[in-house]
Amino acid sequence: MLFRSALVRRIDLSVDEKEHMPPRGKPQLADDDLTLIEWWVGAGSPRDRRIATLDIPSSVQVILEGRLQGAGADAPPDRVGMLAMAALIAGKLGVLVRPLSPDGPWLDVNARPVGKGFGDKELEQLSPIAPAIEWLDLGGTSVTDAGLAALEPMRKLQRLHLDELRITDDGLARLSHLTQLEYLNLRGTQVTDKGMPTLRTLPRLRSLY
């Protein structure tokens, strides 16, 4: 228990501290990860008990439900249903939506043609097709830091354009769940060097503008 308590203490240190874990320059844990570790250690570090038998606070319950639901997310969405819903949303919002393959459900959504007429409320309306979106272009729209919360269910997102948005370092924190993200465009935003630690938590990010 002393070792595990020391582990939590080191994780919770500032990234600039020598004893901080993971080491500086390595992918860092998200806030949700730290919450789960602290709860697990506080519960006695159980290894052979089912989650249902543990006393789980509501804050941890929300995280666990999201993780457990995501465990079955490898099965692709239904192509026919997803394309039909995408057509309805495209017609309503004026965004461009196209399938990325001839036989899969994965989608490329482009809101750039709508310009400033596409904002946080419109981004929320993409939720029915969120699991199928792999490419998303929000460049030049009026999406804000707060609106980026709508990206959370887009777990398959690989390419994301946020150029020319009025987003800041606070908005980048809402990208921490996008573990499949490979390309990110932040040109013309208010993001500074202080937001870079968040990007280090994205394991597949290879192209950053």
The pLDDT of residue 1: 43
The pLDDT of residue 141: 97
User: Phi then psi for 183, rounded to 5 degrees?
Assistant: -130, 135
Q: What is the DSSP secondary-structure string of the chain?
A: -HHHHHHHHHHTS-TTSTT-SSPTTSPPPPHHHHHHHHHHHHTT--SSS-GGGS---HHHHHHHHHHHHHTTTTSPPPHHHHHHHHHHHHHHH--EEEESSSSS--EEEE-GGGGGG--HHHHHTTGGGGGGEEEEE-TTS---TGGGGGGTT-TT--EEE-TT----HHHHGGGTT-TT--EEE-TTSS--GGGHHHHTT-TT--EE-
The pLDDT of residue 157: 95
Q: Give the mean pLDDT per block of 10 residues along the chain (209 residues).
A: 61 78 73 76 69 71 64 66 89 94 91 96 93 96 95 93 94 89 94 87 89
Give the predicted TM-score (pTM) of the model.
0.65
CA angle 135-137-142, nearest 5°?
Answer: 145
The pLDDT of residue 96: 96
